[in-house]
A and B are shown apart, each in its own frame.
Chain A
Amino acid sequence: MNVTVKLFSVARDLAGFSEQLVDLGRNSRAGAVLDYLSEHHPEFAGWRSSIRIAVNQEYVSYDHALHEGDEVAVIPPVSGG
């Protein structure tokens, strides 16, 4: 299934892109995005405890089921304010 992956701050710096259409295969869960990123950058694997994921601009659990066309954002620890 194709989703748009959006990366921010240090995740973007690490992976080297800010937005990409990615095919995550069938019946994927939100956490699959980190698996995909870990394939090229193993450092992402160590981040599972601190990175949040948002689908269509709402925070979701790693188990959240994805749908075709979802916008999946990788949200490193925020630091606004």
Chain B
Amino acid sequence: MLTKVTTPESGGIDVFVGTTRNHSGGRNVTLLEYEAYEPMAIRVMEQIVTAARDTWPLQKVVLVHRLGNVPVGEASVVVAVSSAHRKEAFAACRFLIDTLKKEVPIWKREHFADGTVEWSGQRNPEIERHINDRQLKIGN
């Protein structure tokens, strides 16, 4: 990643790495499982990079998101930015990861230590109950 963004004109490189944390909402997590609306995810990531380039003078930008299972401690997403001066690199890197998390159509399922699996952010008991009921019926 660092070689991809290093250029002779760059004075600073900022890299953000998102990793799977072992806890979420007070519960123990074993891994995160990511899926994406892939063609749109790529398109939105490109739009975010364009927005960053329109805002700050940047050299190189790399955004990578892993799909599938990402166990605790492993990296799921990397954002790397190079620029002539560090101020822009810091600002752009933060913007890129913050915006990726709000806009890119990627979803994660949290696998908990007790064996349960839930879509992140979906603490809607009514919907969970409905999905669980159907899964029980299919199991029978």
Q: Interface on A for B, CB 8 Å cutoff?
A: 6, 8-10, 13-14, 16, 41, 43, 46, 54, 57-58, 73, 75-81
Name the one of B35, B103, B130, B134 contacting A8, with C-beta atoms under 8 angstroms.
B35
Give the chain B neighbours of A6 by CB distance below 8 A. 37
B126 touches A8 (CB 8 A): no
B40 touches A80 (CB 8 A): no
12 A-B pairs in the complex with CB atoms less than 8 angstroms apart: A9-B35, A9-B122, A10-B127, A43-B127, A58-B43, A73-B40, A78-B101, A80-B101, A80-B106, A81-B76, A81-B97, A81-B104
Q: Interface on B for A, CB 8 Å cutoff?
A: 18, 34-37, 39-41, 43, 65, 76-77, 97, 100-109, 119-122, 124, 126-127, 130-131, 134
Name the one of A16, A41, A43, A57 contacting B39, with C-beta atoms under 8 angstroms.
A57
> Apart from A76-B119, A80-B107, what are 5 other A-B pairs with CB-CB below 8 Å?
A13-B131, A14-B127, A57-B40, A80-B77, A81-B106
Once A79-B119, A81-B100 are accepted as A-B contacts, the answer to whether A9 and B130 lie under 8 Å apart by CB is no
Q: Which chain A residue shows the least CB distance to B36?
A: A80
How far apart sit A9 and B34, CA to CA, in the bound complex (Å)? 10
Give the chain B neighbours of A80 by CB distance below 8 A. 34, 36, 41, 65, 77, 100-101, 104-108
Q: Which chain A residue shows the least CB distance to B118?
A: A10
Q: Which chain A residue shows the least CB distance to B79?
A: A81
Q: Please classify the interface of chain B as helix (H, G, I), strand (E, B), loop, or mixed, using the class held by over half of its residues.
A: mixed
Once A8-B107, A10-B127 are accepted as A-B contacts, the answer to whether A76 and B122 lie under 8 Å apart by CB is yes
A43 touches B126 (CB 8 A): yes
Q: Which of B35, B39, B100, B122 has the most CB of A within 10 A?
A: B122
How far apart sit A38 and B44, CA to CA, in the bound complex (Å)? 28
Q: Which chain B residue shows the least CB distance to A81?
A: B101
Give the chain B neighbours of A46 by CB distance below 8 A. 126
The 5 closest A-B pairs by CB, nearest first: A80-B106, A79-B120, A57-B40, A9-B107, A81-B101
Give the chain A neighbours of B65 by CB distance below 8 A. 80-81
